[in-house]
Structure 1
């Protein structure tokens, strides 16, 4: 078992300090067996203050109601004092119950609230492939592997059952997060279906270009996610900053939504037709 101080040191300084504080808080509150990072931090695409900090804590047993309340308090305290990275810290709490059932709901903290959510086959494959052990045992010791058939079936079901119907709600696509995740999910799904591999969000952008995604929308995503940071977390990019000039137009959110939906609908349909219904 790795010591409590063995956190992911290649992370930016503020994020590494946050991870140490979070790990200490977890060990004081729950019977922790392991803490892992997946997503952008594990995959080398992490942008402090912009990326979500995606973590999985594996507990020796299910958390009690009191422990769940204590975990919520820990997350709220860190969010109030730990800066932008802490406000983007998401953590699911596994306890060995149905670890290979993608429909099973696990205790989790995300989007500033305690909830129950699924652990997808994509997350489990990330953990097995490039997950970062921040404390305790390796994912391979505690989680069953994901087969290629399971991964393919989930990716197709996600496109068919979630993202394709979501295009029928134009109001969703006025928000950055829907535009970003909808397009990046399609690109990452395309690569997974082609060869079974997982790619980072940054690597998904050239894939989207190859699929014919709107260049203005790709420039917007690239600038917001990887361009120069604004002067403060709440400040918009300067109109003189390099990036997507369309982003400074008052009607850009509406136009971006139209472009995104017009591209995604046939692109998802082509993908589903090419790779089957799963």
Structure 2
């Protein structure tokens, strides 16, 4: 299986840096992983410090992985025991063929505690404090209000599959978190969307594309119109209800 081969090589190549833990979150942790479609979202705890020389070694490691199938989908944030606990801190992250700095969000931290997959070493609880319920809910509401709601107004984005899929699925997941205080997978979010009033033909289109089913779907322009017409008022109502 290409995914398991890639993970095995990644762990072997990372071993000289003496990782204390490596975890998977997202689809791979939550049991909704689809090979070739889903990203491989990882967190590694290194002894540190993450000096410029250490970052050069990490960049070289990821570049060597390019020969492996699916390597472009492997993303990993690098933390140390001294930096892991701070939710506001940004960490070096390999993603999209380069290093960026990103925080490990309350959603990711909560996923790791709820259903993170331990690939090596200690479990998430050894380095990450649990996320208070209010902190998780506040983050989810702010993400809908500050990122997704302005994005709905950018018409050009919504002819692309990724925006339709993530926009709807993230909204459904946010709704369940704010309503019930729990996290759900993307597949579970798809099942929630009809009851939340999402346009049926768009939900069917997302399902077909994500799970390899055949059949016609709406045109990109129609799908964009339906999605935006639904998401704008839905996000407004969700955020207002939480506030």
**The TM-score by the shorter chain falls in which range?**
over 0.9
Contact 1:31 1:61 in 2 (8 A): no
Match of 1:239 in 2: none
1:47 aligns with 2:14: no
Distance 2:61 2:193 in 1: 38
TM-score (norm 2): 0.95
1:142 aligns with 2:124: no
- How much does 1:181 deviate? 1.0
Deviations 1:127-149 (A, max 9, x none): 11111111011110111110101
Match of 1:111 in 2: 96
1:180 aligns with 2:151: no
Contact 2:93 2:99 in 1 (8 A): yes
Match of 2:232 in 1: 265
In structure 1, stretches of 5+ residues that fail to align are 1-12, 229-241
Aligned residues: CA RMSD = 1.4
Which of 57, 61, 74 in structure 1 is aligned with 2:61?
Answer: 74
Deviations 1:58-87 (A, max 9, x none): 111132212212222222332x3211x321
Contact 2:85 2:127 in 1 (8 A): no
Contact 1:59 1:95 in 2 (8 A): yes
CA pair 265-114 structure 1, distance change in 2 beyond 3 A: same
Match of 1:25 in 2: 13
Which of 203, 227, 232 in structure 1 is aligned with 2:212?
Answer: 227
CA pair 107-262 structure 1, distance change in 2 beyond 3 A: same
Contact 1:25 1:74 in 2 (8 A): yes
Report matched runs for 1:180-219 at 5 Å.
180-219=165-204
TM-score (norm 1): 0.83
In structure 2, stretches of 5+ residues that fail to align are none
Distance 1:183 1:154 in 2: 18
Deviations 1:188-243 (A, max 9, x none): 01111111111110110121111111122112211111115xxxxxxxxxxxxx23
Query: How many residues matched?
Result: 243
Distance 1:254 1:77 in 2: 40
CA pair 156-100 structure 1, distance change in 2 beyond 3 A: farther
Distance 1:173 1:101 in 2: 34
User: Tell me, what secondary structure is at the counterpart of 1:32?
Assistant: coil
Match of 1:126 in 2: 111
